[in-house]
Structure 1
Amino acid sequence: MKMNLEKLSERIIEGGDIIIEEALELANLHGSALYPLFGAASRIKEHFVGDKVFLCSIVNAKSGRCPENCSFCAQSAHHKTDAPVYSLIDEERMVACAREAEKNGSSCYGIITSGTSIKKGEELERICNAVRRIRRETGITPSCSLGIIDHETASALVEAGVETYHHNLETARSFFPNVCTTHDYEEDVNTVRVAKKAGLKVCCGGIFGLGESVAQRIEMAYTLRELDVDSVPLNFLNPIAGTKLENAQNITPMECLQTIALFRLILPTKRISICGGREKNLRDLQSWIFFAGASGTMIGNYLTTTGRAAEEDWQMLKDLNLSVASCCE
């Protein structure tokens, strides 16, 4: 291998960057050559983010009937799946789920709704009221993922006490037309900018295994770096029957870990959490995410699929001698 990973990690720790050509070279590593890459990513993570694990949880607050045609999504109205369909849950349920998330050790709790955007008026106000109660009645930090939003909605969320807005780009700009044709990539990019301008932190990442190339994964990472998002959730496709990608093959555990490590090198100071699809794609290597540069994970269920029991994830962290960050860290 031409590149010296020790020197590269030192350069990044000292405030330098990894250039695209270097990232592409590291993307071609395989076999035992990956272990030094994981070591470099882990060292960078501990320097910038520390060794504590950040846990997050979500609630699927409004499910199904989404007019967008994202190829992977079980909630799209363009697909025929067994995903649940229901309107926005009530305020009490949102608050109760926040309490459960706090009990499970999460520092962040996301209220997630299907659809292009949230309806202003009663729907938005119900969510804002729930956020106010979560702020008063729990110690967990509330976040929201309500689709494409404008400044007025972003400001209402800030006023209610939302700290972080979650909005994934899903994939690279160059691959996005293969994933979704019902809205433009720049609408998602603009939502990130709107949220940041309103004073919200932004949690923004994507999903791998959609058919994108390794170079396009790296392209997405550099877009996230340009947008200066605050945290990055990485998901791996769990093919759902009835979607366009129902027959897609899971990417290998080592490819997952290599992707995590590359994102850590490109985004050294950000919180990187591993979320949907980790059970199916990483299998017995789930615990390796923290050695490959991840600083957090989602605990509990996902939007339309179940995750591991919280007790299993807590046992994993205990076995690794890792401590969990609190809400204020």
Structure 2
Amino acid sequence: MVDYTPIYTALENDDKATARRLLRSILKQAPTAEAWYLAARAMEEKEKSIQCLRKALELDALHTQANRLLFQLEGAKSLSELERERAQSSPITEPLPPLPRKPRMTSTDRQSARRRARRRMWNIVAIIGAILLALASGWFLMFALGVGFVTDIMCTIDIGTCPLESIDGTPIDTLPDAVFYATPDVIRELESGSSMPTSDMLAHGFTHEYEFQARAGEEYAIMVQFASPNAMQVRRNVAILDSAGFDAGDACQGDPLFAGDTGVAFICGIYRTGTWKVRIFGREGESTGTYVVLLERLN
């Protein structure tokens, strides 16, 4: 049985191009009245919508939604008029126009995008000092002793969440991809183009997640940089998840920002509209302490 839910979702989001792409194989392999009705809604031109609706009614003359939409598009017509127009209309062999292909980024374009990302990260590094100086003096000693020290105290006196030690019985120290399985302890929104990067402190065993809204076809630079002296291998502790919650690694090329892998910059081509996520996992000796995260749309 065909699942039309993704098509309805695309149409509700006014993403007709995605709806047409999803319908193409269905109409070729197993066309139904429902599929032709959805194709009519996905069309940009009124005449093509009408043709799709007529195909739907040929398969199911009692399809309520198709009848209603056809009435809205054509108005009330006599049966003889409809028969005459149907006889004169040419058969539909290719109801869905080919989708315009978004030009792929060339190697030069990608290098340019990375340079822009790195230039912005230099600004972030300069801001890190200001962020640390702005911290309340009462917390300074705790930060100097280490963020892990603070969370250990809070966990011990039962006023905070304790760090994650294992996942399904497996110690997190032995899970290189723990970032994909850890449940976020903190979830925040991330906005593109903000002049001030978002900053926070991350302790071992904790997970921070940032959400941002993106549409298919857009391209973003996502940067995460740790200021901790012991930061390393940050790349494996940062994940980009698409709007369905799946790993978007194939669409996001990640490169270290500086020597030592203390930060990472992703160039992500958005292929699915919705809420995307940047997840950061705190691992002792790799990705703990002060960090900044920045989102910038490239197109």
User: TM-score, normalised to structure 2's length?
Assistant: 0.24
Of structures 1 and 2, the one scoring higher in RCO (CA 8 A, sep 6+) is 1
Structure whose alpha-carbon radius of gyration is higher: 2
User: TM-score, normalised to structure 1's length?
Assistant: 0.22
**Bigger share in strand:** 2
